[in-house]
Amino acid sequence: MDCSNNNCSSCISDILKRILLLQKQESDCDNYSGCDKPFLGPIIQNACYNTRPILLYNCCTGATWSFDVTLDDGTIVSSNVLRVESLDGCCCTCRILNPSDTGYTNTNNFVTLDLKCCGAIRCLSDTFVDLC
């Protein structure tokens, strides 16, 4: 598949828009499941979640997008877990999350992906990430 000729995937873009709204707590109450479930966490009243971590897959190779991150202690790790931060047309800016024993830790590392090069999305379990 030639990613350069691929149109922006409306289904992935739509899911990312819904996730972004959820994380900003600006969602409607439509009945969805999976990646576009209209609330974070296992039940609708649970306010302990602020992130729906995602994996995005390269449309040409099928591999997850993965990025090196330098942590505060100078350690370099590779992570493919992302948090949607903003959308602008086919551009999605994501925060790179560092998987840890207790879930995910925040990094101050961001990437902007062209959704024309994303062939699939996988949503991980909703979680709380300290963003400060």
Per-residue pLDDT tens over the stretch 85-105:
999 988 999 999 999 888 999
What pLDDT sits at residue 1?
40
Which one, of 101, 62, 57, lies nearest residue 82 by Cα?
A: 57
Per-residue pLDDT tens over the stretch 25-45:
765 545 555 676 666 666 655
By the 8 A CB rule, do 124 and 52 touch? yes
- Residue 114, beta-bridge partner list: 91
Q: What six digits make up the tokens of 101?
A: 């024993």
Between residues 3 and 85, which one has the greater pLDDT?
85
Torsion over CA: 124, 57, 95, 68 (sign) = positive
Q: Percent of the chain beyond pLDDT 90? A: 45
Neighbours of 39 (CB within 10 A): 18
